[in-house]
Amino acid sequence: MINSKVNLEKIKRSFSDSKPFKHVFIKDFLERGEYGKTYKSLVRETFEIKNSDLFSFSQTCDFSSINHKDLKFFYNFLVSKEFSDFVSKIYGKKLKVGAINVSGTLYQKGDYLLCHDDMLDDRKIAFMFYFSDLSKKDGGSFDMISLKKNSDFGILKSITPKENSFFMFEVSNKSFHQVQEVLTDIKRYSISGWLK
Amino acid sequence: MNEINDFYLDKDVMSLVKKDFNKKGFVVLDNFFNNSYCSDLKRLNKLKFKESFIWNIEKFSFIKDHRDFNFLSDFLETCFGIKIKLDFQIKRFSHRDFTLRHDSVKLFNDFYVWFYVCNKWDESFGGYRVFEIKGKQFIFNVKPNRICIVKGDKKINNFVKYVNCFSGKNSFLMVGN
């Protein structure tokens, strides 16, 4: 499933050296064929509008109850020992096998996720697979935010989603982040979940 | 109470408003102010607003204005029989503004009273105020010359929905508590 060209040692270093909280962004992450199958199935899924004070986006059902065979295959990979071992090696600490709350998310024009830290239910790692190519003018970037009122305050780093990329970060009391509002007609697809 | 639309000063109307409020715990009154006071309120937009931005709590602009809203206190007392000291703030919401419900910001007022000043606004822009009362959500949409009155409770939480890019250059004022 994971592209054989992915350089684990380089990724580990990138993760441990990253700021404002530990994270890593990997391009061309999945084998091309697996990526294509997952993408095609994802965009055909039913997305339900979700709204709260914190967010506005559309979401699939939890993948633990997904019917489509290709998405089920992808989900099985996320709950496999192979995936949690891979993430554990980057994280440098042991993680439980089996990703939780895995679902597909779609952000369209006007959708957003405001600043929060993800600290909930012993989550240790948050991860997302991106299935859309965005540019800065589209919005929809993943922004890492520091709330410390000193010179390093506000958005310290932004990740612009690229198709077939993988992003993960350590959940902590520093992991404040947001998804900037999508400003154009682009569709921002991702699959995300957490590891404990 | 010269500022208020005569319709709402009618005793029978006041009685109906009170009945509705007691039944639901909130009331929404449209075309509340008379035309001349509405025009006067629009001048507030010309004042210099300051930004309040706390990433995980709120973003909007505000002004401290010493405008006298005693006539509203008088209306509330006459209509609902409640004595309330109105400590009003004037907040402006435009694209990217919001307030979040936040555990550390547990406001508790006996009554929430606020009105909107704007030209045009569409629900799809966001900006509406949401009250969560006993697990149920009540949405108070932005509309020119609309006043909303909500009975307070310790368990009440509220927020203003993020104003999205569909709002363009439009903004609205929320005057109240």
Would you list the DSSP string of B66-79? ----HHHHHHHHHH
- DSSP helix, strand, coil percent of chain A (3-state; round to 5): 25, 35, 40
Query: What pLDDT is attached to residue B104?
Result: 55
pLDDT band at A114 (very low <50, low <70, confident <90, very high): very high
pLDDT band at A62 (very low <50, low <70, confident <90, very high): very high
Dihedral of CA atoms B54, B58, B61, B66 in degrees, nearest 10, equals -100
- Contacts with B, A 18-37, CB within 8 Å: none
Of the CA atoms within 13 Å of residue A1, those in its CB half-sphere come to 18
* Spatial CA neighbour of B26 closest among B105, B121, B136, B107: B136
By the 10 Å C-beta count (0-12 exposed, 13-18 middle, 19+ buried), B113 is classed as: buried
Across the interface, of B99, B126, B165, the residue whose CB is closest to A183 is: B165
Closest chain A residue to the Cα of B167, Cα to Cα: A110
Return the residue in B54, B55, B140 with the most chain A beta carbons within 10 A, the one to mutate for interface testing.
Answer: B55
By the 10 Å C-beta count (0-12 exposed, 13-18 middle, 19+ buried), B128 is classed as: middle
Q: Do A112 and B161 touch (CB under 8 A)?
A: no
Question: What is d(CA A164, CA B85) in angstroms, rounded to the nearest whole number?
Answer: 58
Percentage of chain A modeled with pLDDT above 70 = 99
Query: What pLDDT is attached to residue A57?
Result: 98
* CA-based radius of gyration for chain A: 16
Return the residue in B165, B166, B167 with the most chain A beta carbons within 10 A, the one to mutate for interface testing.
Answer: B165
Q: Is the pLDDT of residue B122 over 60?
A: yes
Query: What pLDDT is attached to residue B147?
Result: 97
Question: What is d(CA B78, CA B80) in angstroms, rounded to the nearest whole number?
Answer: 6
* Spatial CA neighbour of B169 closest among B124, B131, B125: B125
Sort out which chain A residues have CB atoms less than 8 A from B103's CB and list them. Answer: none
What is the average pLDDT score of chain A?
96
Size of chain B, expressed as the number of residues it contains: 177
pTM equals 0.94
* A112 touches B at CB < 8 Å: yes
User: Does residue A161 have a cis peptide bond before it, meaning omega lies within 30 degrees of 0?
Assistant: no
Across A3-18, average pLDDT: 94
* A143 touches B at CB < 8 Å: no
